Amino acid sequence: MAAVFTDSNFDKEVLKADKLSVIDFWAPWCGPCLALGPTIEALSKEYDGKVNVGKVNVDENPNLSINYGVTSIPCVLFIKNGQVVDKQVGAAPKAAFDKKIQKILSA
């Protein structure tokens, strides 16, 4: 299951993590966000132990949205070594996320 990242655990769970983190910024009222949910869950199972995959509810964690300039959701950030290395705004097929993850992991 995808992790739940919050304003309080983001630093420890994402920024100080020793692996790539894929974070879905979403809200329960956002249709495209809900459509992307199963893809994020599938990625969390597929990359379990290799990649941190999780979600940030923008309504409950406004500071993270502000800090990362998230103005449109869904917005998926790819963070490695504390830095955003890629970004996907809007829903996309799972293959698009797989491609980005593989590219980052092989870099």
Q: Which of 14, 22, 23, 33 is catalytic?
A: 33
Which residues lie below 8 Å from residue 52, measured CB to CB, with a gap of 6+? 3, 13, 14, 17, 19, 20, 21, 22
Round to whole Å and give the CA distance between 49 and 64: 24
| Strand locations in 1-107 (E) | 3-4, 21-26, 52-57, 75-80, 83-89
Q: Which of 27, 30, 42, 92 is catalytic?
A: 30
Please say if 30 is a catalytic residue.
yes
Please say if 75 is a catalytic residue.
no
| Catalytic positions | 30, 33
